[in-house]
Amino acid sequence: MAGLATRVRGKEHAGLNGTVVDTTGAPIQGAQIEFRSAAGVVVVGSDEKGHFRLEGTEAGGTLVLSFAGFATVSREIRAHTSAEIPQIVLVPAPGLQRIEVQGTSGDRIPAVPTSQYEIPAQEIELSGSMAVDDVLREVPGFSTFRRSSSLFANPTSQGISLRGVGASATSRSSVLLDGTPLNDPFGGWVYWARVPKQAIETMEVVNGGASDLYGGGALGGVVNLRTKTAEEAYATGEFSYGNMYTPDFSFSAGTPIGKWSLNGAGQAYQTNGYISVPPDQRGSVDTDLGSGILSGMLEASRRVGERGQFFVRTSGFGDSSKNGTPLQNNDTTIWEVDLGADWSSTEAGNFSARLYGSRELYHQTFSSIAPNRDSESLTDVQRNPSQQVGFVGTWSRLIEEKHKVSAGVEAMNVRGHSEEANYHLGVETALVDAGGRQPTFGVFAQDAFLFARGWLLTFGGRLDAWNNNSGYQMR
């Protein structure tokens, strides 16, 4: 448990012990406890059981408790108080709180000079939403190309927009999972259901241009989803059931094994849906708009020294949708493997590296419906396989409490393939087969200079190179 003790004349002052819980009585880990007195400010954090201890409080002062997503609590502590104080209950804040995101306790310079928000695990649970993108709609400036939830919307419409930039199916913002890109390599949209909701610890949102640190796709901003870690054994799950046969189940579990830890998570969702055509206009071809999603991930990580970590993660995702008639449907399958390493040093700074690769297959069919809606004929069949391999490496260091210096390199190679067959009255009339490769490479550097109290001057730059090659088109 973190703590700070004060000594006077060789004797340790008496202290305060307490516990921080939420309205359900569950302990809150990581709550910030400040004790403000004439001697200064002492800051500690609550442990996994919500406990904290403060030393050197005999002169009295003000006790302030805060945690993201909860209303701040203040209490006056009288002089010479030395006892176990009752449980302190934190009540959820009425709305999303804006907070300052800091890399480490000694890093008080933000990584980028933009608006930053964080949605903690407690806020995710209180949202009541089944999908990640529905939770993110609480963030000011966040929207998707279509208002429909990712649980049943066509995946090509799930482009992300931050602060009104990129309001189209092709995103102008990057979505990351523990620093690994989640954007579709073929079209730039996002499969939000790839990440089981119960696996997410926090959602971090950076509003504004951040391409100098996060790549050319981050013109509008960045969403980084951070998963849970197994510092101790845990298991959590959530199940719901709605009408139109709509079950949803999400779980996450993990356990430490020596220096290793294992984490697993999954989500399954299905709905029969409903017929979108009014009853007086329906025909025999009109069917329910049903959909189903299945996703899972398994991660093994290992501590390296006191301030390092290595992990390997594999994940799979599949979805299918029925789009209102027997011939209209779409489905997607994605497999991915991620390798990551993080290491920090007081002298050398913080290092992070990610290596990832994925394979995806997207398939969709279209049809022409007769005016009486009693028959349909196939018009178009699309099949889009794609693969990507990429690497991201970053370094940052705080210099003399005034300069936050960051630098990095990224590289990615994407191969896309599009097969499209056109039909007329059930007969194939044209076949278009096209594809190619796109390797990209980028380097960046930034210096955030705190040159005066409350003033931050940022210098940054980025150099990118890309090349479209091996392109072909056959009819």
Digit-coded pLDDT (tens) for 119-167: 888 788 877 788 888 888 888 778 777 777 888 788 877 778 787 665 5
What amino acid is encoded at 149 in this protein? S
Nearest to 20 by CA among 53, 59, 56, 57: 53
Mean pLDDT of the chain: 83
pLDDT band for position 237 (50/70/90)? very high
Decide if pLDDT at 335 tops 50: yes
| Domain ranges (residues) in the chain | 7-89, 115-225, 244-474
Options 2.40.170.20, 3.30.470.10, 3.90.470.10, 3.40.640.10; CATH of 244-474? 2.40.170.20
Name 346's Cβ contacts closer than 8 Å, sequence gap at least 6. Answer: none
Residue 454 has pLDDT above 80, yes or no: no
Is the pLDDT at 85 greater than 60, yes or no?
A: yes
For 247-277, how does the pLDDT look when each residue is reduced to its tens digit (9 = 90+)? 999 999 999 998 899 999 999 999 999 999 9
Alpha-carbon gap, residue 353 to 471, rounded angstroms: 31
The more confidently predicted of residues 79 and 293 is 293
Residue 235 clears pLDDT 90, i.e. is over it: yes
Residue range 65-75: mean pLDDT, rounded: 84
pLDDT at res. 179 = 87
Weakest-pLDDT range from 53-57, 76-80, 137-141, 156-160: 76-80
Residue 320 confidence (pLDDT) above 80: yes
User: Residue 6: its pLDDT value, please?
Assistant: 31
Give the pLDDT band of residue 105 (cuts 50, 70, 90).
very low
Residue 8 confidence (pLDDT) above 70? no
Give the per-residue pLDDT at 147. Answer: 74
Give the range among 35-44, 281-290, 422-431 with minimum mean pLDDT.
Answer: 35-44
pLDDT value of residue 136: 86
What's the rounded Cα separation, in Å, for the pair 411 and 408? Answer: 11
Architecture of domain 115-225: Beta Complex (2.170)
Mean pLDDT of 322-332: 93
Q: What is the pLDDT of residue 114?
A: 60
Tell me what the mean pLDDT of segment 186-193 comes to: 84
> Cα–Cα distance between 28 and 51 in angstroms, integer?
9
**CA–CA separation, 435 vs 40, rounded Å?**
65
Percent of the chain with pLDDT over 90: 37
pLDDT above 60 (res 355) = yes
- Architecture, CATH, for domain 7-89: Sandwich (2.60)
Distance in angstroms (rounded) separating the CA atoms of residues 225 and 415 = 26
